[in-house]
Structure 1
């Protein structure tokens, strides 16, 4: 009887894997057939990065607006004793600063990088396992590289003043401020992400998903809310918004963007801001 149950379980698993593989292959064939010219556009990376960042910030703008009338939303804020949520004017001011940097600096730089890259479009989509491994590998490598660069920017006064200080104008960050940095820092993060993808050797589909998840986690880290459904509550290895807000409050420690193991290993871990 137990053997029959095991066989049926394996059969269900195989069917699920086959269905997922068909979905990935269908998605990839659609991209290759109809969207190839769009994917090769010199202006696609910067445009998508900015638009996805703004879209991911929209729910937190709604939370900031609801916070003025809803006690439950206010209870989710991490630094509730530091003042009210950012005003609509602060959001718009930050939006125009980020947009200006993207148009004047990031867009030309990414267009240059895109023109130098040799984009390959393999016939086959990645398997589910390949997709998972590549994305996890990208996050682990990016987390390590960012930890080293972030630590250096705080330890070397010239780097802090010239590159990183602008980002720390927000003692209590909010979602849109995730990319409110100097042009040099924005370009350095782009270089880290591209280097990560190059080292891992990602399939283009894995690359796209990594960029999307990377953008979402950066927004969530800066959102200022310890939400019940936040990813760091589901995955204890993630620091999340409390972990990163402690970095902004203390101006030191918690240098890794997502995971906590590097800070714990090097003694730079700081207790998250009390909720």
Structure 2
């Protein structure tokens, strides 16, 4: 069995190592180095199902915990305390360790199984993993669409998890830490992991079912960016260079930190517009903005 990552191996020599596989793909002038590495990996693994499962699982673990590591270090450096949103609440080493164990357990017992069977889903619905990749403009377009759609999914289902039994038996676990830190991004009940996780994985699947146009490299890029966004929003730090200071509609850590602090409001993941237009922003600023809107509305009625 030969990998389906490329359509023509007629000019290739026999290879038994990754390096030899890469040398074969290096002969192809129409591929960039990322595509050559990608194709060499699949060709070397010689089992597309296993290769995709291993790729996504390792990618998820490396990107998630790799992005958490800087925040763990920052939490131990006094200099950064001035940027801590809730500066009186630093996670202890015990809390960090317990959260790490819980998240890692969830990764292996909840998320690993569907990850390992993602390749048959790709084949079934038409998610390509072949080289060459789509154009960078196509990848950027797909990533933008996924961010917007996931944010809508996250807002409504996250908001729903704050009602009655859904909060008590499911979402309350995620609110164990009123002052979040990086590792808490995926600290959640298994049902919540699957429900909100569908926004990350399910939306690309639905997109491909509708458009018949999606590449696995785009999915990997999307998962990486979504993980970074989730971890950063739980970091508990607000810097002068934080992205929302340059893109006002970006949510960021200050937006989500208030959600944890006040246990209600600010339900969006990446953007602020759902909370803004539906008056669900959390904290004093959200309350102040609502009061201003009510005052303007009342004054406009008086003039009629």
- TM-score normalised to structure 1 length: 0.81
Q: Residue 39 of structure 2 corresponds to which residue in structure 1?
A: 32
Q: Answer yes or no: is 1:141 the counterpart of 2:141.
A: no
Counterparts in 2 of 1:190 and 1:100: CA distance versus 1, 3 Å: same
Aligned residue among 99, 108, 113 for 1:103:
108
Name the counterpart of 1:209.
221
Q: Structure 1 residues 142 and 92, CA, compared in 2 at 3 Å: closer, same or farther?
A: same
Number of residues paired by the alignment? 246
**Are the aligned partners of 1:246 and 1:272 in contact in 2 as well (CA < 8 Å)?**
no
Q: Which runs of 5+ in 2 are unaligned?
A: 1-28, 209-213, 287-304
User: Would the aligned equivalents of 1:222 and 1:245 in 2 still touch at CA under 8 Å?
Assistant: yes
What residue ranges of structure 1 are gaps of 5+ in the alignment? 1-21
SS in structure 2 of the partner of residue 154 of structure 1: coil
Task: Name the CA distance, whole Å, in 1 between partners of 2:233 and 2:279.
Answer: 21
1:249, distance to aligned residue in structure 2 (A) = 1.0
Residue 159 of structure 1 deviates from its aligned partner by 1.7
Instruction: Note the C-alpha offset of 1:45.
Output: 2.8
SS in 1 for 2:170: helix
What is the rounded CA distance, in whole Å, between the counterparts of 1:29 and 1:200 in structure 2?
27
How big is the shift at 1:106?
1.8
Pick closer, same or farther for the CA change 1:163–1:43 going to 2, 3 Å: farther
Residues in 2 aligned to 1:96 and 1:226: alpha-carbon distance in whole angstroms: 27
Alignment map for 1:185-196 (pairs within 5 Å) = 185-196=192-203
Listed as ranges, the matches of 1:228-239 within 5 Å are 228-239=240-251
Contact 1:238-1:260 at 8 Å conserved across structures: yes
Of 76, 85, 96, 2:83 maps to 76
Tell me if the contact between 1:226 and 1:242 (Cα under 8 Å) persists in the aligned partners.
Answer: yes
More helix by share: 1
Closer/same/farther in 2, CA of residues 273 and 28 from structure 1, 3 Å limit: farther
| Aligned Cα root-mean-square deviation (Å) | 2.4
Instruction: Give the structure with higher Rg (CA).
Output: 2
User: In 1, Cα distance between the equivalents of 2:167 and 2:31?
Assistant: 43
Distance 1:233 1:239 in 2: 10
**Match in the other structure for 1:259:** 271
Counterpart selection for 1:183 from 186, 190, 193? 190
Moved more, 176-185 or 36-45: 36-45
Q: Distance in 1 between matches of 2:204 and 2:135?
A: 17
- The 8 Å contact of residues 47 and 107 in structure 1, kept in 2 or not, is answered as no
